[in-house]
Structure 1
Amino acid sequence: MKTQRHGAVFGLLAAGALLLTACGSDNNAPTGGTSATAGSTTAAAVKPECGGKPKLSAEGSSAQKNAVDSFVQAYKAACAGQDLAYNASGSGAGVKNFNAGQVDFAGSDSALNKDKGEVDAAATRCKSNPAWNLPLVFGPVAIGYKLDGVKDLVVNGDVTAKIFNGTIKKWNDAAIKALNSSATLPDKDIKVVYRSDEAGTTDNFQKYLKTASKGAWTQGDGKAFKGGVGEGKEKSAGVAQAVASVDGAVTYVELSFAQDNKLSIAKIDAGQGAVELSDTTVGKAIEGAKIKGEGNDLVLDLDSIYGTTASGAYPLVLATYEIVCSKGYDADTAKAVKAFLTVAATTGQDSLTAAGYAPLPKAFQDKVLTAIKAIA
């Protein structure tokens, strides 16, 4: 993500994320006040125990690459002589290589999938101990498009699903017209561009379609795109650049990539009128987010966001995770992983707004720090 000019978009997203703190009991987001974000009393009080493995390795989500880069700089400043190399190969590759023991932890835009064997494979890699999904970054996903003469497009879950599974083939289809009565829609083919590499962004997008389309999306979810239509491009930058070069093209991509490539961004109508993607509307959408993981496995339940009908809420929200062993590391690796993650969850959060991400709200930060401390 190119960074500085996107910080304002996420300023209120962090404030909206604070509402996670009011979502429930033990298996929901932590209860508590809505006072401080990262860099607060907790961040000042928690210091990393530096040392251990001098250079960690991690791999995965390209969506969180700039956030991890910021974390690395903070880690090196806090722990002299320590470093981490991060390969933004995509969430699918990151999880596979973590499970194969080739990297110390993975970055992923979606939690480990039990049905696909990822949970069991991770437990094997962690020497018969569970892996934990620790969310460190929030951000929205845009439906980005290029269509000459149409800058204010509105879609809903049903129409979006039918575009991305090929049921709707033309921009002037009656279903699109019904949502855009004042627009002049061209008789032009819709050119879908999707992620060809396995990606948590794809998984989140397809889960949104499954929840929000009221049955129009039957292709399922997962890190591989299943719509059966369009042209695939690798990574977030690849799909955004492809759409920017072709009139009539559309994709799903993290907000900053859409902005960097000057794509138009569709509004979403979830039943209460068209909603523009903004800090405020994303903040409203994550009000209902809950944690469905058990104990220190902080897996978010995003169904209530994807299916929201709350007024003024933008429902396409992405959470990225660091996937780590709860136990099973050697002593040096465990020490360094804990130190890096401690920095990432505290002082490392300070630069995220400027980098186009949403820093952790304090109560959620406390939950993450509790999990990090328990790594052995």
Structure 2
Amino acid sequence: MNLKRSSALLGVLAAAGALTLSACGSDNNSSANGAAKIDVACGGKSSLKASGSTAQKNAMDRFVAAYQANCSSAKLDYTGSGSGAGVNDFLGNQTDFAGSDSPLDPAKGETDKAAARCASPAWNLPAVFGPIAVAYNIPGIDDLVLDPPTIAKIFSGDITAWNDPAIKALNSNKADKLPSDKIGVIYRSDESGTTDNFQKYLTAAGGYAKGAGKAFNGGVGEGVKGSDGTSAAVSTTKFTITYTEWSFAKAQKLSTVRVLTTATSNDPKPVDLTAETAAKAVDAAKVKGEGNDLVLDNSSIYKPTTGGAYPIMLATYEIVCSKYSDADTAKAVKAFLTSAVGNGQTGLADAGYVPLPDAFKTKLTTAINAIQ
């Protein structure tokens, strides 16, 4: 695999394609994504600024369209720069809120820094749920089963060929078709909450010993910036594999791994990534945060006790101040988030996301309404 030139090019394209979304005001009763207008307490700051997760980039398109339908003359600029950059922008008071695929990390001092920036506690609000696909490009193979330990060994460099005995054993019906070619691992070169979630999953379910974090620790493969970059690289490079949000895998029409989980059955079956299997995982997710700080217990997702639940999921958190120093900012942030969890949910499944279950919608709405 020779990705050095293509990786550099994709990195430039990803950087150049940083997302800027604007809701410019409309008197129409429907948004650009077909969602009917809802009643929202609009007003406050006329132009919001946010940055962060690329995982929610496609969802933000729909959220901004809903905000536009609900609130005339409102504007939101969102830059999909990666979770790490988004948190840093928020902590530096450069943005009104951040999008991050991992909650603020107390061990890194992020919680305290956010409280200082806000002059109040910051809240982690999981507003976007999306499966992480393990996407691959093997000519002639459009159905592949892997289990967590095997995925972990691939992404740590312990399994290096597509016809490795462990992969053949999980795909006995096509073992003779698996090529001897080297596995080309493609990972996120930028700090990413997607990487953090994926490595946490591998650690919890697959015995991955490299550790979690927003930087990829596997020590193998080629790095490419952004989920759009990694997905495009797999699309154009044979015998490669990556982890990426389902929305980007769908956009590139990539084949995705069926994941074998032990769940609740003595006769486990591989779980295909579908809207239904992803929704089962979200339904089973539990909150471990206190009050309106809705940090999730990831173990309830990574090691499902519900059969047929797809286990590699991430939640993108909107990181907000519980009390803003400027009341106009608070009002606008509340209007945007109310739109996001309201008519912004329309069409999310078509874009590779999981619409919010009613229970989560209720918790989020309570937290949003409590922002001051």
Give the one of 39, 46, 50 matched to 2:42: 50
User: For 1:294, what is the secondary structure of its paired residue?
Assistant: coil
CA separation of 1:353/1:329 partners in 2, compared to 1, >3 Å: closer, same or farther? farther
Larger deviation: 352-361 or 274-283? 352-361
Equivalent position of 1:203 in the other structure: 196
**Which runs of structure 1 show a deviation greater than 4 angstroms over 4 or more consecutive aligned residues?**
none
| Contact 2:199-2:212 within 8 A present in 1 as well | yes
- Aligned counterparts of 2:234 and 2:347: Cα–Cα separation in 1: 30
Task: Give the letter for the 1:373 counterpart.
Answer: N
Give the 3 Å change call, closer, same or farther, for CA 313–363 of structure 1 in structure 2: closer
Match of 1:315 in 2: 311
* Letter in structure 1 aligned against 2:188: R
Taking a change above 3 Å as real, the CA distance of residues 251 and 363 of structure 1, as seen in their structure-2 partners, is same
Distance between the aligned counterparts of 1:356 and 1:176, measured in 2? Answer: 27
Which sits farther off after the overlay, 297-306 or 281-290? 281-290
Q: How does 1:1-376 map to 2 (within 5 A)?
A: 47-127=39-119, 129-183=120-174, 184-213=177-206, 215=207, 217-271=208-262, 272-308=268-304, 310-376=306-372
Check the 8 A contact 2:281/2:301 in 1, yes or no.
Answer: yes
Q: Is the 8 A contact 1:270 1:309 kept in 2?
A: no
Q: Which amino acid aligns with 2:72?
A: A
* Cα distance in 1 for residues equivalent to 2:53 and 2:326: 25
Aligned partners of 1:333 and 1:84: how far apart in 2?
12
Which deviations, in whole Å up to 9, do the C-alpha atoms of 1:182-228 show, x marking residues without a partner?
22211110110001111111111011001111x3x111111111111
CA RMSD after TM alignment: 1.8
Decide which moves more: 65-74 or 180-189.
65-74
Secondary structure, aligned partner of 1:182: helix
Offset, 1:362? 2.6
Q: How many residues were matched structurally?
A: 331
Checking the alignment, whether the CA contact within 8 Å between 2:84 and 2:214 is kept in structure 1 is yes
The TM-score normalised by the length of structure 1 is: 0.84
Q: Deviations over 1:136-171 (max 9, x none)?
A: 121211100001222211111100000001011111
Unmatched tracts of structure 1, length 5 or more: 1-38
Distance in 1 between the 2:350 and 2:179 partners? 38
Q: Structure 1: how far apart are the matches of 2:306 and 2:67?
A: 39
Among all aligned residue pairs of Structure 1 and Structure 2, give the percentage whose two residues are the same amino acid: 57
- Give the Cα separation in 1 of the matches to 2:289 and 2:367: 12
Which runs of 5 or more residues in structure 2 are unaligned?
1-34, 263-267
Pair 309,177 (structure 1): closer, same or farther in 2 beyond 3 Å: farther
Counterpart CA distance in 2 for 1:336 and 1:329 is 13
| CA pair 84-299 structure 1, distance change in 2 beyond 3 A | same
CA offset at residue 309 of structure 1? 5.4
Letter in 2 for 1:274: P
Q: More displaced, 139-148 or 257-266? A: 257-266
Report the secondary structure of 2:173's partner residue.
coil
1:311: Cα distance to partner?
2.9
Distance 1:352 1:265 in 2: 19
Deviation string 1:31-86 (CA, Å, 9 cap, x unpaired) is: xxxxxxxx99xx96xx4322221100000111211222222222222222221101
Q: Which structure carries more relative contact order (alpha carbon 8 Å, separation 6+)?
A: 1
Structure 1 counterpart SS, 2:51: strand
1:29 alignment counterpart = none
Distance in 2, Cα, partners of 1:346 & 1:134: 15
Q: Secondary structure at the match of 2:106?
A: coil
